[in-house]
Amino acid sequence: MIPCTLGELRRAATVLEALTTQKLLGCAPVVTHLARLTKLVRQEVAYFHEQEQQFIRELGEERDPTPAEQAQGAMKMISVTEANKGEFQQRMDALEALPLVIPWTPLSVTALNVFQISASDVLTLGPLGPLTPDPADPAP
């Protein structure tokens, strides 16, 4: 079980997604563990984005798209109004702080040994990765 917040998961998701693109031979248990963890995180991050869009619809107004948005195919946009930016930020802060428990285990130091990963990525993983070595893991 991994206790965390929705904000921690949102930040860690980018690192997990990058790790899932690496091809590894002879590491099926690690790859399977990563795939299951990533699937669970994706579900929670999808909820985050659904809520964010709902807040924008509730606190925003429709506007014409910028030329850059039009170039990407946008017909109409909704933006949070200036008067509602404080309320939007409060809701987003509360959403990020939402406590969760992921029903799986974090990536271990041993598991991370098979990936190309930076110290910054390990920090971004937060509770999904080890910030201190597991006593069961061999010393580096």
With a cut of 60, say whether residue 57 has pLDDT above it. yes
Q: Where are the domains of the chain?
A: 2-128
| pLDDT bracket for residue 53 (50, 70, 90) | very high
pLDDT above 70 for 139: no
pLDDT at 110: 84
Q: How far apart are CA 121 and CA 35, in angstroms?
A: 17
Short-list 130, 99, 120, 136, CA closest to 37: 130
pTM over 0.75: yes
For residue range 60-111, what is the model confidence (pLDDT) as tens digits? Answer: 999 988 889 889 888 889 999 999 999 999 999 999 999 999 999 999 888 8
